[in-house]
Structure 1
Amino acid sequence: MKKTSSASSSKSRKRSPRVFSKEKAAQLYSALAEDRPDPRTELDFVNPYTLVVAVALSAQATDVGVNKATAKLFKIADTPEKMLALGEEGVAEHIKTIGLWRNKAKNVIALSRMIIEEFDGQVPETRDELTRLPGVGRKTANVVMNEAFGHPTIAVDTHIFRVSNRTGLAPGKTPDEVEAGLERATPEEFKKGAHHWLILHGRYVCKARKPECWHCVISDLCKFKPKTPDPAKVSSLGPKGG
């Protein structure tokens, strides 16, 4: 994985235009929090190590698909030592249903070895250390920091990128720009859950092809226009002129 300097990284994370005030952002998060009081990742894991593996496997794959593959894998290999003993071919046999499984199997073994050799078998807690692990980028590191260690990080995936731009909460042309915008726009009391609220909202309501605006709890705050009408009401009206 190619490393970038902190200077170039910060340069790439340009400031996105602020559309939401902190007060308006607080209203948005309050509505999402009321709708989903206990947000959490939908990836199955049993400890920080299996979370790292699960998130690394989830790149270009669905959480459902990853959970099916790891259900048996984590029963026999829930520590880096056990995973290393399983070997690359053993890991591969369990994850063949996941996209890019060959490369991911290599990364799982490599990151397991690094955790043992450089971190005494414990998953590191900082972003700089996490992103040293093979197959672990900034997004994966942010998920692990948030879910496993309780840090108020926001991992920008396709769902969060879409919701942030559609709503106007944190518009940006790149995930880094959106992340920077979310860090500024999100009130402190909502930062721990922001990642989960936004990703779940994007996954189940603010969908890519057709956002379900008719039952969106933040539709009155969202900048997206025109809002998608309720198909049940549209069909009940019948054809025009009928």
Structure 2
Amino acid sequence: MQKKERFRLFLEYFTTHFPEPKTELHFSNPYELLVAVILSAQCTDKRINQISPALFERFPEPESLAAASVEEVFSYIRSVSYPNNKAKHLVGMAKILTEEFGGEVPARAEDLQKMPGVGRKTANVITSIVYNQPTMAVDTHVFRVSHRLGLVPKTATTPLAVEKGLMKYTPIEYVPKAHHWLILHGRYICIARSPKCNQCPLTHFCQYYESIGKAAKLQSKQVAGTP
């Protein structure tokens, strides 16, 4: 099956069954989303949603976060992954956001990446969710699922290569949604260990499922002693 056909089937399923996907991070404004996405690196959205209400109550706008000490921010996020680095990133981000952008989260990925803790993936998440721009954020879920489904070539071994591969065949109006579709499918069905293929509605075009089927048939033949 060619990639164009896999993309067609992928889009056909999700536009029909999950037309309006949303991030599972809780936020009420762009500033809160930026904080939440920085915190979510190598951590679960569930954990971030547990600690963010108290954090946002104490630091409701970038000005208050910029004025905070790293130690105080750490006390609110100690249960997330890499809290020391993230506390430093949040204070540094808030200072730049306040001093250079007047407290307003910028719409350009280049501007977002000037801030500590904001790489290409985080910038793409913000521009996609907040400004509905056709940017594709590639995290571990997107990377894994896009390879398993066969949406990107095996030679796409970096997040940027996967991003380019997905952008090549995804219609521009679906790019912001496709990011969420791949993340959520990877989070709940196509998990890293023991993917739930028996529950997956995409097996009819999944390259991974096809490969394990072929492997099972080969093993069966070998056990039976047939050529």
Scaled to the shorter chain, the TM-score interval is 0.7 to 0.9
Query: Which residue does 1:182 correspond to in 2?
Result: 166
Counterpart CA distance in 2 for 1:208 and 1:104 is: 25
Please give the TM-score of this superposition, normalised by the length of structure 1. Answer: 0.82
Higher helix proportion, which one?
2
Q: What is the correspondence of 1:166-205 to structure 2 with a 5 Å cutoff?
A: 166-171=148-153, 172-205=156-189
Identity of aligned residues (%): 44
Partner of 1:20: 3
Match of 1:69 in 2: 51
After the TM superposition, which residues 117-196 of structure 1 pair with which residues of structure 2 at under 5 Å, given as runs? 117-171=99-153, 172-196=156-180
Structure 1: 5+ residue stretches without partners: 1-17, 228-242
2:40 maps to which of 51, 54, 58: 58
Partner residue in 1 for 2:222:
none
Instruction: Classify the secondary structure of the residue corresponding to 1:154.
Output: coil
Shift of 1:44: 1.1
Query: Alignment partner for residue 206 of structure 1, among 156, 176, 190?
Result: 190
User: After superposition, what is the alpha-carbon deviation per residue over 1:165-198, rounded to whole angstroms, capped at 9, x for unaligned?
Assistant: 1111113111111000000011223212010001
- Residue 110 of structure 1, CA deviation: 0.5
Amino acid corresponding to residue 60 of structure 1 in structure 2: Q
Q: 2:66·2:98 contact (CA, 8 Å) conserved in 1?
A: no
The structural deviation recorded for 1:65 is: 0.9
- Corresponding residue pairs, total: 209
Which residue is equivalent to 1:9?
A: none
**Superposition CA RMSD, Å:** 1.5
Q: Deviations over 1:112-162 (max 9, x none)?
A: 000111111111110100011111000000001111111121111111100
Structure 2: distance between partners of 1:60 and 1:215: 26
- Residues 26-65 of structure 1: pairs in structure 2 closer than 5 A: 26-65=8-47
* Partners of 2:118 and 2:104 in 1: CA distance: 15
Considering Cα pairs closer than 8 Å and 6+ residues apart, tell me whether 1 or 2 has the greater RCO: 1
**In structure 2, what is the Cα distance between the partners aligned to 1:161 and 1:140?**
15
1:226 to 192, 212, 225: 212
Deviates more, 1:73-82 or 1:121-130: 73-82
CA distance in 2, matches of 1:190, 1:88: 39
Quote how far apart the aligned CAs of 1:92 are: 0.9
Tell me what 1:92 maps to.
74
- 8 Å Cα contact 1:35/1:217 also seen in 2: no
User: Which segments of 5 or more consecutive residues in structure 2 lack a partner in the other structure?
Assistant: 214-227
